[in-house]
Amino acid sequence: MSAPEAAAPYAARQNGEYLVVDKGASLPGVCIKCGRTDGLHGRSHTFQSFDPALYLAFLVSGALALILLLWVRPKRGTLEFPICDACDRRWRRASGVWTVALLWLFVWSFVAYTLLGLGAVAAFLVLEIIAVIPAALVRWTVSEWYTVVAIEINDEQLSLAGVHETARQAIVAGATPPKPLVEPSGG
């Protein structure tokens, strides 16, 4: 009840390669990307996830996805976690690569739709592929290798890809037991 050194309780579990953890959790002292336990510093990161329909829309049409982006707001969740200096540097570089990939996607989608407006359907299709493939590749390779990516976010929890196996085990071990189905009311 009153262990002064204990961090705030959180729930967590493994779901295959993914880690499912409560929003706002402060995770135990293991680097989230490489699993080491020394030379760490704390980091707060707000994850975002979009409806899977949005990714599907990008495969069909960058412009359709951009229109959906205006309607469908991303879901957000913040975590506090330890990370080592080397992993933090790689994370920042990978974030830069992702930003470039997104810019590439938007610019080439814009060019593609301009050409479609001029009636150049074949050029449009080629440019759409040129627009979408690099961003998709970066998302499923660089982003997952060097950062942590939110697969899904609901009202209470985040489902994360890219968390190191050792960190996943430490996070699940440091979690509070699952909540009972029926909790007494009041507090």
What residues line the site for Zn ion (CB under 5 A)? 31, 33-34, 84, 87
**Considering the complex, what minimum distance in angstroms separates the CB of residue 83 from Zn ion?**
6
| Rounded Cα distance, 171 and 174, in Å | 5
**Considering the complex, what minimum distance in angstroms separates the CB of residue 162 from Zn ion?**
12
Length of the chain: 187
Closer to Zn ion by Cβ: residue 34 or 97: 34
**Considering the complex, what minimum distance in angstroms separates the CB of residue 143 from Zn ion?**
16
Closer to Zn ion by Cβ: residue 25 or 87: 87
* Token couple for 137: 């590749």
**Considering the complex, what minimum distance in angstroms separates the CB of residue 33 from Zn ion?**
5
φ and ψ at 63, to 5 degrees? -70, -40
Closer to Zn ion by Cβ: residue 51 or 144: 144
Closer to Zn ion by Cβ: residue 10 or 91: 91
**Considering the complex, what minimum distance in angstroms separates the CB of residue 98 from Zn ion?**
19
Cα-Cα-Cα-Cα dihedral sign, residues 130, 132, 138, 141: negative
**Considering the complex, what minimum distance in angstroms separates the CB of residue 82 from Zn ion?**
9
Closer to Zn ion by Cβ: residue 57 or 84: 84
Closer to Zn ion by Cβ: residue 31 or 138: 31
CB half-sphere exposure, 139, CA atoms < 13 A: 12
